[in-house]
Amino acid sequence: MLVLSSPSGAGKTTISRAMLERDDNLTMSISATTRPMRPGEEDGKDYYFVDEDKFNQMIKDGELLEHANVFENFYGTPRKPVEEALARGMDILFDIDWQGTQKIADDEIAGKDLVSVFILPPNTAELENRLRTRAQDPEEVVQQRMSKASDEMSHYREYNYVIVNDEIEASVQQVQTILATERMHIERQIGLHEFVQELRGPE
């Protein structure tokens, strides 16, 4: 379970898309949200877009691994698709904030299988520039996101890895290196014990 978190505009979504294009064993955890759909987004691909009543019912029924209120909209991670992907032997990529990361880390489903990466912008001027060039949020939302970025960045110590996203290709390669390294951990190599026993032969 690979988590990427960052302040809005720092690049986690761009990095996530590049990772998915390059790694066939990586699948995206699609979040549910009550926020309106943006131009170019698709229901079931970018998010599961639901109303607040449906979202509250999902919480009540235990269908979410984590959920949070962000900028007056609710976001949450549906549990069932995550469990199904893990059962198929897939690695799962999460594009969630620090609150969601903490909740998933505490969940029994994560255990030792959670690897978390925090993405930082090179500077605040670049962060604001990226938010404005998206041209999808009104000015007051841009200012809200900038004011919240400082608080979000203060949680970097809670993550396993930190990347400063100065250049997108370099950042993607760094995340790929992290994922490759974490896959090599002994406890994550399925069938390793049997393989070594076979190499050793009968005692």
What is the Cα–Cα distance from 69 to 33, expressed in whole angstroms?
Answer: 10
What is the Cα–Cα distance from 6 to 120, expressed in whole angstroms?
Answer: 6
Look up the domain containing 43 and give its range: 2-200
User: In the chain, what percentage of residues exceed pLDDT 70?
Assistant: 95
Tell me the mean pLDDT in the region 59-63: 95
Structure-block tokens of residue 173: 């390669």
H/E/C letters for each residue in 128-141? HHHHHHHCCCCHHH
Distance of CA 82 to CAs 78, 79, 118, 177, 179, Å?
A: 7, 5, 21, 23, 18
Q: 21-36 pLDDT, tens per residue?
A: 999 999 999 999 999 9
pTM confidence score? 0.84
> What per-residue confidence (pLDDT) applies to 142?
74
Confidence class for position 81, pLDDT limits 50, 70, 90: very high
What is the Cα–Cα distance from 203 to 185, expressed in whole angstroms?
Answer: 26
> What per-residue confidence (pLDDT) applies to 111?
64
How many domains does the structure of the chain reveal? 1
CATH number at residue 169: 3.40.50.300
Structure-block tokens of residue 90: 């897939």
Residue 16: partners with Cβ closer than 8 Å, 6 or more residues away: 4, 28, 93, 95
What is the Cα–Cα distance from 116 to 105, expressed in whole angstroms?
Answer: 9
